[in-house]
Homo-oligomer: A and B are copies of this chain.
Amino acid sequence: MSAQPTAGRYPGFAFDVLARDSGSRARLGRLETPHGALMTPAFIFCATKAAIKAASPRDLREVNADIILANTYHLMIQPGAGTVERMGGLHRFTGWSGPMLTDSGGFQIFSLGQGGASDEIKNSRHDKRTPLLTKLTEEGATFRSPRDGAYHTLTPETSIAIQRQLGADLIVVLDECTPFHVDRDYTARSLAMTHRWADRCLAEFERGQDGRQALYGVIQGGIYEDLRREGAEFAASRPFFGHAVGGCLGDHKDQLYDIVGYAMEPRSDARPVHLLGIGGIRDIWEGVALGIDTFDCVTPTRIARHGWALQRQADGHRINLRNARFAEDRDPLDPECACPACRDFSRGYVHHLLKAGEILGIQLLTVHNMAFMTRLMATIRGALSTGRFAAAKRAWLS
């Protein structure tokens, strides 16, 4: 099927497919924004609260990061969208002058209120600072801030208005993010509301459209094949610049790939597709094979703070530098890497920094893990441009 044309609607933006894999839906693309262009598939680093944890914009540039995202929920709570706007918007505020995305805020407010969707979806422990959803209606969602107990309401209109104040290049419609345990009926009703919300988001987006931002629709539908297809068809029928696959993505890897596959089936080749919150190494290779263009995930920077360095050869593609076997290891974190951390420091030194509680250890692992991810994406793009995607995928995952 072909998507509703968006020509002229997003003047500072473009997405072009430059090469396609013959054996899968993988594709090499180029995504242009008012803050620069990037090649896809690409990884979007999470600057949740308008900062990459333990890294600066210069670190990002040094490891060839293309694009970052910030979370609308976190920023509306602290420092507030008005402050970010008065400080000149996210690019000026953070010092990151490249492409940037914000999400809608929905994921965070639905992650606790509906019984721990975040836990289910991300398989992580509860964050004590998760908001409490107090009311969900057709109008929107009301929640209490874990910061000061204040009530906030997020509606399709306010989500878009806040994202306009934040000023990222790519913004996302508000959706209800359903947890894993809900049944098909709930999911179907939720999907219908998510679609009505999407139309309200589009209307609000168009009211304030000034060419600086492009809007992504979200494909929901839980674990149900027909609902995911319905979600994808709906998205394609509306003039979104891109699509994001969100919500519950199953309880094991194969189900994740199936669900993403359902969402990609009625695809609109003219649009970039983002997979929300998924960024494991195998997930990225499989996601690319299914046609995903961009990924985001906190994992590379989060595991750095727990002592892990990403490494191609290691079990699970990671080693933990807290392990005593690294105490006198003079090798770099990753022998294949030329990032500033691998260039200047040894595993033994990073081991010492972690044992001694030195922040520098986290800084070095964060930089390395970001460099690893950009190198992985460059490897994928290189394979796509030379017609060797399937072989490269096999080699990496074997």
Q: Which residues of A contact B (CB under 8 A)?
A: 49-58, 74, 78-79, 83, 86-88, 93-95, 327-328, 330, 340, 344-346, 348-349, 351-353, 355-356, 358-364
Let me know if B359 and A50 touch, CB within 8 A: no
Let me know if A359 and B360 touch, CB within 8 A: no
Let me know if B51 and A356 touch, CB within 8 A: yes
Q: In the assembly, what is the distance between CA of A145 and CA of B355, in Å? A: 15
Q: Which 10 A-B pairs have the closest CB atoms?
A: A54-B359, A49-B356, A51-B358, A95-B344, A79-B352, A51-B360, A87-B348, A86-B328, A93-B349, A78-B356
Q: In the assembly, what is the distance between CA of A328 and CA of B86, in Å? A: 7
Let me know if A87 and B53 touch, CB within 8 A: no
Q: In the assembly, what is the distance between CA of A362 and CA of B52, in Å? A: 13
Q: In the assembly, what is the distance between CA of A344 and CA of B97, in Å? A: 11
From A87, which residue of chain B is reached at the shortest CB distance? B348
From A343, which residue of chain B is reached at the shortest CB distance? B95
List chain B residues, Cβ under 8 A from A93. Answer: 346, 348-349, 352
Q: In the assembly, what is the distance between CA of A57 and CA of B352, in Å? A: 16
User: Known contacts A51-B353, A51-B356; can you find 15 more A-B pairs with CB under 8 A?
Assistant: A49-B352, A50-B352, A51-B358, A51-B361, A53-B358, A56-B344, A56-B363, A56-B364, A58-B344, A79-B352, A83-B328, A83-B348, A86-B328, A87-B328, A87-B348
Pick from B50, B352, B355, B360: contact of A54, CB below 8 A: B360
